């Protein structure tokens, strides 16, 4: 009896310990086909820079509240959190497991915070901001998509037999995303669960280009196995290409928000103040497109995603004089700059695009050199760090494991 009990205790302890050991600890050094890497530093040096950036990011933006964690949207005023930040935080901590012994604890706390603040429309999705404002407790597409993807990474990293069944939770969110935040006919991401499919101003044909997370969608297609993901990939790629092909688009960049013009049967930029500010231009939403679409080009060698990102990359390469510090914070589609300053939110995503082009080694080196230790604020640093994971070969697709 004693030995049987001892065996059970030891087995339980070992099993519990095993679930806590990450299967893919940082650094992972993933090989992406037909790509290049920063050449001015060794892989070991690059890993050190990336880990140091992560540690500073945690120090600046990770907030602990009892047994929960959240990501603050400002290093000077840490009172506010958005679902986008929770998604970024969950992705980042899952990929730094191993290097950070607290990664799983932080990840679980971030997810529990998201679950504790549901949208008032679809309770499986997270409200887009905390503290919540009256009448604005609904979802934003990208936060939920990142949270679902991060849960799939967590399932491959730690397994789903612990306190949180990561895969089950991911599937529940993906089911809700498909039901509440995609156009039934357009197959495009809605701005959130609050959008009426056939609304007058906001509907299934008005969409945010930075929500075209094509790398995510392809992973969802392989793991979630719903046939709609293939339609979504096709629809988002077509929309981006149509914006790039507009005669008035001299930059090959895409606007923050777009809509489908039924008269011309073509996608076009929305009006300037459609939802935010420079909505008809390449601004603080669309700056993520080279990263989001570039991820698909890197991980999946998709030729359409590659064409989309390379058009954007070549234009900015020439327009900046091949110098990252000359990349401006926003452009009108005719190529005229909006902001007269550089920021990593606009620069780092082009590092992802450059990585899949062997002819861009010098530009990739200068891009990486610019971003590797440059800290700004929540939005810029989160984008920068996620792009650095890709640029440094430390971002992996859970569908491949």
36-80: pLDDT as tens digits: 999 999 999 999 999 999 999 999 999 999 999 999 999 999 999
- Per-residue pLDDT at 135: 78
Task: State the pTM of this model.
Answer: 0.95
Tokens 């205790």 belong to: 9
Do 279 and 389 sit in the same domain of this protein? Answer: yes
Interval 108-145: pLDDT, tens? 999 999 999 999 999 999 999 999 888 789 999 999 99
Does position 207 have pLDDT exceeding 70, yes or no?
yes
Beta strand pairing call for 62-65 and 257-261: unpaired
For residue range 232-279, what is the model confidence (pLDDT) as tens digits? Answer: 999 999 999 999 999 999 999 999 999 999 999 999 999 999 999 999
Spatial neighbors of 314 by CB under 8 A, at least 6 apart, are 252
Q: How far apart are CA 350 and CA 285, in angstroms?
A: 14
Is 112 in the same domain as 252? Answer: no
Q: Tell me the pLDDT tens digit for each residue of 271-314.
A: 999 999 999 999 999 999 999 999 999 999 999 999 999 999 99
Q: Which of 84, 146, 279, 280 is catalytic?
A: 84
More confident residue, 83 or 19: 83
Residue 386 lies in a domain: yes
Residue ending a domain, among 181, 209, 236, is: 181
Domain count, the chain: 2
Pair (66, 156) in one structural domain = yes
Residue with structure tokens 């905390």?
130
pLDDT attached to residue 193: 99
The CATH number of the domain holding residue 249 is 1.50.10.10
CA distances from 217 to 100, 267, 296, 322 (A): 28, 21, 9, 32
Given a cut of 60, whether residue 16 has pLDDT beyond it is no
Distance between CA atoms of residues 22 and 253, nearest Å:
39
Quick check: is 256 catalytic? no
Mean pLDDT, the chain, rounded, equals: 95
* Closest residue by Cα to residue 335 from 206, 246, 270: 246
Please indicate, yes or no, whether residues 226 and 102 belong to a single structural domain of this protein: no
Question: What is the predicted pLDDT for the residue at 360?
Answer: 99
Output the pLDDT for position 82: 99
* pLDDT tens figures, 332-346: 999 999 999 999 999
CB atoms inside a 10 Å sphere around CB 175: 14
Residue 285 pLDDT: 99
Decide which of 132 and 222 is more confident.
222
Distances (CA, A) of 175 to 117, 192, 358: 18, 14, 38
pLDDT at 133: 84
Q: Are 94 and 156 found together in one domain? A: yes
Q: How confident is the model at residue 370 (pLDDT cuts 50, 70, 90)?
A: very high
Among the candidates 181, 216, 235, a domain finishes at 181
Confidence of residue 3 (pLDDT cuts 50, 70, 90): very low
List strand residue ranges (DSSP E) for 146-234, in order: 206-208
Of 322, 273, 313, the closest CA to residue 294 belongs to: 313
Is 275:191 a contact under the CB 8 Å cutoff? Answer: yes
In-domain check, residue 306? yes
Q: Are residues 145 and 287 in the same domain?
A: no
**Average confidence (pLDDT) over 313-335:** 99
Using the 8-state DSSP alphabet, how is residue 93 labeled? H
| 74 belongs to a structural domain | yes
What's the pLDDT at 6? 34
- Quick check: helix, strand or coil at residue 266? strand
Q: What H or E segment, with its residue span, contains residue 70? A: strand 68-71
Q: Do 152 and 229 share a structural domain?
A: no
Check whether residue 228 and residue 96 sit in a common domain.
no
Is the pLDDT higher at 10 or at 291? 291
**Do 151 and 277 reside in the same domain of the chain?**
no
Task: With respect to residue 352, please indicate whether it lies within any of the assigned structural domains.
Answer: yes
Are 294 and 350 within one domain?
A: yes
Q: Is residue 399 domain-resident?
A: no
Annotated catalytic residue, options 47, 100, 142, 193: 142
**pLDDT confidence of 146, banded at 50, 70, 90?**
very high
Q: Among 146, 181, 216, give the residue marking a domain's end.
A: 181
pLDDT at 7 (0 to 100):
34
Q: Is 185's pLDDT higher than 80? A: yes
CA 125/CA 220 separation, integer angstroms: 17
Q: Is residue 22 part of a domain?
A: no
Provide the pLDDT for residue 269.
Answer: 99
Active site residue 84: yes
Q: Residue 209's pLDDT band (boundaries 50, 70, 90)? A: very high
Tell me, yes or no, whether 42 lies in a domain: no
Identify the domain containing residue 145 by its residue range: 62-181
Positions of E strands within 221-313: 257-261, 266-269
Verify that 307 and 387 share a domain, yes or no. Answer: yes
- Clarify whether residues 117 and 80 are in a common domain: yes
Please give the pLDDT value at position 134: 81
Evaluate if residue 9 carries a pLDDT over 80: no
pLDDT band at 19 (very low <50, low <70, confident <90, very high): very low
> Domain for residue 287, yes or no?
yes
């Amino acid at each position: 009896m004693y030995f049987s009990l001892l065996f059970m205790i030891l087995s339980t302890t070992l099993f519990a310990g095993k679930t806590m050991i990450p299967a893919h600890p940082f650094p992972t050094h993933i090989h992406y086909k037909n790509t290049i890497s920063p050449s001015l530093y060794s892989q070991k040096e690059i890993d050190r820079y990336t880990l140091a950036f992560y540690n500073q990011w945690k120090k600046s933006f990770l907030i602990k509240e009892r047994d929960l964690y959240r990501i603050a949207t400002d290093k000077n005023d840490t009172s506010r959190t958005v679902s986008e930040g929770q998604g970024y935080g969950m992705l980042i901590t899952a990929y730094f497991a191993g290097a950070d012994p607290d990664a799983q604890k932080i990840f679980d706390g971030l997810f529990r915070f998201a679950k504790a603040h549901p949208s008032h429309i679809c309770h499986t999705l997270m409200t887009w901001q905390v503290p919540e404002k009256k009448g604005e407790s609904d979802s934003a597409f990208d936060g939920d998509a990142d949270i679902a993807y991060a849960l799939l990474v967590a399932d491959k990293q730690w397994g789903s037999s612990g306190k949180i069944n990561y895969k089950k939770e991911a599937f529940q969110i993906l089911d809700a995303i498909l039901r509440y935040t995609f156009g039934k006919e357009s197959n495009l991401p809605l701005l959130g669960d609050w959008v009426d499919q056939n609304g007058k101003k906001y509907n299934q044909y008005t969409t945010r280009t930075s929500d075209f997370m094509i790398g995510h969608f392809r992973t969802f297609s392989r793991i979630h196995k719903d046939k709609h993901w293939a339609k979504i990939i096709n629809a988002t790629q077509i929309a981006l290409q149509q914006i790039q092909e507009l005669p008035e688009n001299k930059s090959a960049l895409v606007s923050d928000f777009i809509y489908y013009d039924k008269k011309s049967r073509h996608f076009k930029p929305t009006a300037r103040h459609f939802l935010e500010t420079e909505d008809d231009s390449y601004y603080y939403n669309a700056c993520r497109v080279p990263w989001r679409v570039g991820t698909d080009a890197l991980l999946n060698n998709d030729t359409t995603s590659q064409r989309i990102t390379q058009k954007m990359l070549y234009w900015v390469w020439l327009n900046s004089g091949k110098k990252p510090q000359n990349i401006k914070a926003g452009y009108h589609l005719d190529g005229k700059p909006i902001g007269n300053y550089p920021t990593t939110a606009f620069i780092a995503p082009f590092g992802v695009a450059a990585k899949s082009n062997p002819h861009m080694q010098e530009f990739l080196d200068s891009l990486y050199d610019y971003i590797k230790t440059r800290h700004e604020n929540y939005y810029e640093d989160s984008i920068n760090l996620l792009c650095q994971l890709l640029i440094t070969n430390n971002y992996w697709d859970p569908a491949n494991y």
